[in-house]
Amino acid sequence: MKIIKISLYKVPPRWLFLKIDTDEGISGWGEPVVEGRAETVKAAVNELTDYLIGRNPNDIEDIWQTLYRGGFYRGGPILMSAISGIEQALWDIKGKYFNIPVYQMLGGKARQKIKVYSWVGGDRPVDVVAAALGKQKEGFLAVKMNASEEMNYIDSFSKVEAVVERVASIREAVGKDFGIGVDFHGRIHKTMAKVIVKELEPYRPMFIEEPVLPENNEALREIAWHTTCPIATGERMYTRWGFKQLLQDGYVDIIQPDLSHTGGILEGKKIAAMAEAYDVAIAPHCPLGPMTLASSLHLDATTPNFIIQEQSLGIHYNEGMDILDYMKNPELFDYENGYVNIPDKPGLGVEIDEEKVKQAAETGHNWKNPIWRNEDGSIAEW
């Protein structure tokens, strides 16, 4: 079996889909994208195509090593996202070739179903209590929300109180056992993060996510001194080497690699195994489309230290098109009582409506995240 063709489709709301065709008629799908940099990743995939045509797609490890180490410069969001989407598609092909789901090739099930959470509140968190109650009524056992809007290095305590009030209101409404993830989104700098995590502690968040930007992970040590809330990070970190120092330092409780950014499914499996050795849980990041979610679920199924899975159905980014809209089998992601079943069809298990993808690609997208500014006009983190 040989790879004969690579096709790319930039589709709304902000995704890039990849299809790999083989000479035996077996095709695989993946998602190589950086949100807001889809064209750049598309160019990176096209540059890597010369390494793929004519290769046996079953040689996933060697292809990954070639793509990663074949160039003098390596790592980073663009290259690793290009490699991630390619690698997902290769697993999809391999599973279809052997007629088994991907998780069976990763060691088999470590659990029978997968816990998921849902987003509430949008970019600028509003109506979070009603939204959280709605998700609870739908059967979800946990939600995640953005903590705040813009916040400067040193900012008013009113902004701190607004964060605490939102979380406190949700906790009062949903009860003590419902999970509340609070995503700082890297918007909050170390000084303010120390204040906020201390104030949030009485409301027992499920986790505090990205309390600082990943380039400032050394600050997690000081932040951890101010709270017993679980600290999560990792969506903007790439490969096992990117997670090495974080795990060695020992101040994180949950890592969140994104399988469309960090290097793909097998790289995610290796990162998860490293985390297990440090008694750290894994909760893969996934505000993206169906192949990224399916890839995550196969990893989750086989990973002992997995704890909960993000998924993007109804997320505020998905304007116009949502995760199920490109699928012929949307029942794959049926959520029941806060859980989803492990995909059991060959490969990733996603049946893509290729005609719909091609039509959507004619429209495409030019999604960019907003540029936020502080009151004085300086750039703020989004």
Active-site residue list: 185, 285
Q: Is 261 left (phi over 0), alpha (psi -120 to 50) or beta?
A: alpha
- Give the residues across from 282 on adjacent strands: 255, 306
The span from the CA of 152 to the CA of 213, in Å, is: 13
Please enumerate in sequence order all residues whose Cβ is within 8 A of that of 208, keeping only pairs 6 or more positions apart, or say none. Answer: 182, 184, 197, 200, 227, 229, 230, 231, 232
What tokens appear for 60 in the block?
Answer: 């996933």
Inter-residue long-range contacts of 324-328, CB under 8 Å, 24+ positions, other chains counted: 324/290, 325/356, 326/11, 326/17, 326/289, 326/290, 326/352, 326/353, 326/356, 326/357, 326/360, 327/290, 327/351, 327/352, 327/353, 328/352, 328/353
* CB neighbour class for 193 (10 Å; exposed up to 12, middle 13-18, buried from 19): buried
For the chain, what is the radius of gyration of the CA atoms? Answer: 20
